[in-house]
Amino acid sequence: MCDAPKDEEPVDIVLESGLDVSGRLEDELGHPIPHQKVSLRNNLGADTHSGRGGEIFERDDTTDAQGRFHFHRVYPKLFHLALQAQDDDSLCWIKTRVRQRWVDGVHDAIWPHDDDTNLSVVIVATLRLPYHYFGKVIDEQGRPVAGATVRIQASIHGPGQRGDFADNHAHYSQITTGKDGCYDVPSAGPYVNWFEITAPGFKDNSYMEDGEISGFDRYEEEPCAPGRYDFTLKRK
C-alpha cells in the first residue's frame, strides 16, 4: 500500500468544448467523391516514428453520396487530416479550403481558432497523377539513351511543412525513355526527393549520391519542383 504524499496539492482539471469538423471531398470539377475514407488525428504530444500524433487519437469517417464527412467533439488543438482511398484507387490531394481560404496543394495540418465551434474544410482530389517531371537522358557524347528507366520518389509536403512517414517511403513513379531519350514521369507529389536513372551498359545514376543533373545540385537542401531535369549517363 502506497503512503499518502506528505504535501498535498490541488489538481485543476480544465475542460474544453469539443470542435465539430465538417468537410467535403470533391474532384477538380466540384463533383463530390463518395465512399472514401478520411481520417483525423490529434497530436497531443504523443509523437511516433510516423511523424503524427499517437494512433489512439485517430478516427475515420467515410464520405457520403455528397462527398461530405464529419467529425464530432474534436480536441480543439492541432489536428491532421488524411485521405485513404478505397478500391485500390489512388487519390491525390491537390487543393484545400480551410474556412474560406483556398490553398494549393496539401494542407492537412490545421490549427483551430479560439472561437471555432464548427470548422469547415474542402479537399479537392484527383485520381490522376497531377505533377510531371520531364527531360532527356543522354550519353557522354550527347546521344539520346533509349530504354533508360527514370524512377522518382516524391513528397506531398513541401519545404517548411511537416511531412509524414509516406513522404520518404512511398509515392514512387517510373517510366522508360523513348527513342529520343526523352521521358515524362507523372507523380503524386509536387516535391521529388530523388531521381534514379538506370540503363543497360551504363553506370547507375542516382541523384541521392553523385548523379549529374543539368542545372540542379541541391539535394536535401530543397526538393525538386515539377519541371525539366536532364541527365547524362556514363558507360561502364
Where does the pLDDT of residue 15 fall: very low under 50, low under 70, confident under 90, or very high at 90 and above? Answer: confident
Where does the pLDDT of residue 220 fall: very low under 50, low under 70, confident under 90, or very high at 90 and above? Answer: very low
Its pTM stands at 0.78
pLDDT tens sequence across 142-182: 999 999 999 998 888 877 676 677 777 788 899 999 999 99
pLDDT at residue 208, as a whole number: 46
pLDDT tens sequence across 54-106: 555 789 999 999 999 999 999 888 899 998 755 445 789 999 999 999 999 89
User: Is residue 117 over pLDDT 80?
Assistant: yes
pLDDT at residue 217, as a whole number: 38
Between CA 174 and CA 199 the distance in angstroms is 13
Where does the pLDDT of residue 46 fall: very low under 50, low under 70, confident under 90, or very high at 90 and above? Answer: low
pLDDT at residue 17, as a whole number: 75
User: Is residue 215 over pLDDT 50?
Assistant: no
